[in-house]
Amino acid sequence: MAKKNLSKQKKMDTRVNFTPMVDMMMLLITFFMLCTTLAKPQAMQLTMPSNDDTSKLNDEQKQVTKASHTVTLYLGSNDKVWYIAGLPNYADPSCVKETTYGKNGIEKVLNEHTTEEGVNPVAKIKLAKKELDAKKNEYNSKMTDEQYQEALKKLKKGELPNGEKVPALTVIIRPLNTATYENMVAALDEMLISNIDKYVIDNVDKLSEDDKALIEKAGVK
Amino acid sequence: MAKIKIQKKDIWIDMTPMSDVMTLLLCFFMLTSTFLTPEPVSVTAPNSVSELKIPEQDVLNVLVTPEGKVFCGTENKNNMQAMLDEMTDKFGVQLNPTQVKHFREDAMVGAPMAQLAQYLSLEPEKMGEAIQKLGLPLDSIKGGKSEFQEWVSAARNVNPDIKIAIKCDSKTPYASIKKLMSELQDMSENRFQLITNLDVKRLND
């Protein structure tokens, strides 16, 4: 009899409550999500000329660059920005014009800058780059990264794919001491957007007296 | 009137599939995560359209706060140790093992050499607070290199492949960053990367 009693086992509920485990998992996941950096920060490559030969380099560039191929940007306080298209006319402060950062400001100025040859190099190069990008991204495109970089390099020098040669602009960026770091990055950003390879960040403390007088008169601060 | 008898139902929900999914997610996050390196001062980088990624290794991070204070450090702790050894030799600073341990736990150097030993003897809890008031001096020592430049050249000696990445707050005055960049240029460190956030809006414009 006793044997029979033993064999008649009670059916146990073998389901385990997972709710606490799920709670804990949730907590852990939240922790990892908050502590991780999935999106790695971007970087901007900047190559500055060596301090020793800055002046020499500038003189060389001044010789090879035509007046109408130059744009000078002055970055001032309170996110203000001024530009001079071409060489400054020291007698006339109105050659310094105010603009803004962004699409309708500097980008437009650079885009619409017409050189003495009567072309808008930035707009033309931008258009050509768009075509190049489309070619690169199109379905089953056979273009390698190297070929793309090669083509891009040529474009930035002003050699368009249809054989036309446009002058490449030179931009002189002069952040005043009152500007912020953000302003400088914004200006460098415009160079990237407008595919301008030739740009210099100039030290305003080493400006010539004429330049200093000009920006003083034009109200750049 | 007979009462309607509501049948008692078992409202047990099976949590097993949910816990499966959770485990998968957890594994994913654990494997893909790279932890945020603690920065002495939180800094907001400006936006740009540049899509270049900074490399994961061999990077000397230079942090510039809105007040223009400079910190620097690299993710490789052994390199940091070697940099410290070189610097303490040069400046004749003696550190005890506890101080060295504290140094290894710290993400970035920010204390001037004269205050380094004192800073490193603080309790780890107080170090985070103290470092915010410090910062590497950019003034040249007797016409020679500044302490910041010494740290950079120590990093260059320890790891010749090191790349300089500058993370600067968007509100930092340009004058501070100009001084920093000109010090780097003085020692022929002409290529550096500026850490920015991706400006998706502008990129798609």
- Summarised one tens digit per residue, pLDDT across range B93-135 is 788 888 888 888 777 888 888 788 888 888 877 877 788 788 8
Distance of CA B205 to the CA centre of its chain: 32
CB-CB under 8 Å, B174 with A175: yes
- Summarised one tens digit per residue, pLDDT across range B140-193 is 777 777 888 888 888 888 888 888 888 888 888 888 888 888 888 888 888 888
On chain A, the residues whose CB falls within 8 A of the CB of B36 are: 35-37
B45 contacts chain A (CB < 8 A): yes
Examine the domain organization and report whether A101 and A133 are in the same domain. Answer: no
Confidence at residue A50, expressed as pLDDT on a 0 to 100 scale: 67
CB-CB under 8 Å, B22 with A22: yes
Examine the domain organization and report whether A163 and A174 are in the same domain. Answer: no
Helix (H) or strand (E) holding A24, with range, is helix A19-35
Examine the domain organization and report whether A102 and A63 are in the same domain. Answer: yes
Confidence at residue A14, expressed as pLDDT on a 0 to 100 scale: 76
Where is the domain boundary, A127, A149, A167? A167
Examine the domain organization and report whether A174 and A221 are in the same domain. Answer: yes
| Residue A109 belongs to a domain | yes
| Residue A11 belongs to a domain | no
Q: What Å distances lie between residue A34 and A28, A31, A41, A59, B62, CA to CA? A: 10, 5, 16, 52, 24
| Residue A74 belongs to a domain | yes
Q: What Å distances lie between residue B170 and A186, B143, B173, CA to CA? A: 10, 31, 8
Confidence at residue A38, expressed as pLDDT on a 0 to 100 scale: 59
| Residue A217 belongs to a domain | yes
**Chain A, chain B: beta-carbon pairs less than 8 Å apart:** 165
Min Cα–Cα distance to chain A from B149, Å:
15
B204 contacts chain A (CB < 8 A): no
Strands, E, within chain B: which ranges? 47-48, 52-53, 59-64, 70-74, 163-168, 191-198
| Residue A13 belongs to a domain | no
Tokens 């414009």, residue located: B205
Tokens 């407008």, residue located: A194
Identify which has the larger pLDDT, B60 or A54.
B60
Confidence at residue A51, expressed as pLDDT on a 0 to 100 scale: 65
| Residue A139 belongs to a domain | yes
On chain B, the residues whose CB falls within 8 A of the CB of A185 are: 46-48, 170, 194, 196
CA distance A174 to B174: 11
Where is the domain boundary, A128, A151, A167? A167
Total domain count, chain A: 2
CA distance B10 to B202: 56
User: Which residues are paired to B195 by β-bridges?
Assistant: A43
Identify which has the larger pLDDT, B1 or A177.
A177
- Summarised one tens digit per residue, pLDDT across range B73-100 is 888 888 888 888 888 888 877 888 888 8
Partner residue facing B177 (CB), from A26, A49, A181: A181
- Which of the residues in chain A have pLDDT under 50? 1-3, 56
Residues 162-181 of B with CB under 8 A from A: 165, 167-178, 181
Q: Which residues span the domain enclosing A151? A: 117-167
- Summarised one tens digit per residue, pLDDT across range B7-43 is 777 777 778 888 888 889 888 888 877 666 667 778 8
CA distance B151 to B161: 15
Q: Which of B144, B186, B167 is nearest to B41 (CA)?
A: B167
Residues 143-162 of B with CB under 8 A from A: none
Examine the domain organization and report whether A135 and A154 are in the same domain. Answer: yes
Confidence at residue A1, expressed as pLDDT on a 0 to 100 scale: 47
ipTM of predicted complex: 0.75
Sheet order of strands, A70-75 included: A97-99, A81-85, A70-75, A170-175, A198-201
Say if residue B143 is exposed, middle or buried (CB neighbours under 10 Å; 0-12, 13-18, 19+): exposed
CA distance A100 to A102: 7
Examine the domain organization and report whether A108 and A176 are in the same domain. Answer: yes
Interface test with B, best of A21, A133, A180, A181 (most B CBs within 10 A): A181
Examine the domain organization and report whether A196 and A123 are in the same domain. Answer: no
On chain A, the residues whose CB falls within 8 A of the CB of B46 are: 181-182, 185-186
Partner residue facing B51 (CB), from A26, A42, A181: A42
Angle at CA of residue B36, ends B31 and B39, nearest 5° = 165
Confidence at residue A59, expressed as pLDDT on a 0 to 100 scale: 52
Min Cα–Cα distance to chain B from A205, Å:
10
CA distance A185 to A189: 6
| Residue A18 belongs to a domain | no
Please report, rounded to a whole number, the percentage of residues in chain B having pLDDT higher than 90: 0
| Residue A155 belongs to a domain | yes
Examine the domain organization and report whether A93 and A159 are in the same domain. Answer: no
Examine the domain organization and report whether A121 and A220 are in the same domain. Answer: no
Confidence at residue A15, expressed as pLDDT on a 0 to 100 scale: 74
Whether A141 contacts A41, CB under 8 Å: no
Tokens 């301090």, residue located: A51
State chain B's mean pLDDT as an integer: 81
